[in-house]
Amino acid sequence: MNMQNLMAQAQKMQKDILNKKAEVEAKVFTGTSELVDVEMSGGKKVVSVKFKNKEELNIDDLEILEDMIVIAMNNAIDKVDAELDRVMGPYGNSLNGLL
């Protein structure tokens, strides 16, 4: 295999990776807990936080609510990571976290 073919394949792979990553970043993922839904972009930026059953919340529930926000955010991050693993599967292990 000559060097030009190798470079062309590397450029195509790079383009494919960037396209797949952009595809995931354009999606919105919802993380949930008992009291909270968090929407997060594929770029791991929080889009919104929505409280369930707002009328039932009171000031004594704030510590629980804080925990539920953390749970929902981590759930959304896990979903983003799972989607990246799924989409980037053929490239993921060979790139050793370069993305």
Mean pLDDT of 37-57: 86
Q: Which two tokens stand for residue 87?
A: 């989409």
Compute the half-sphere exposure of residue 58: CA atoms within 13 Å on the CB side of its CA: 2
Q: How far apart are CA 94 and CA 73, in angstroms?
A: 28
The CA radius of gyration of the chain, in Å to the nearest whole number, is: 19
Domains in the chain: boundaries: 28-88
CA angle in degrees (0–180, nearest 5) for 62-65-66: 90
For the entire predicted model, the pTM comes to 0.66
pLDDT tens, position by position, 23-33: 989 999 999 98
Q: Which CATH class is domain 28-88?
A: alpha beta
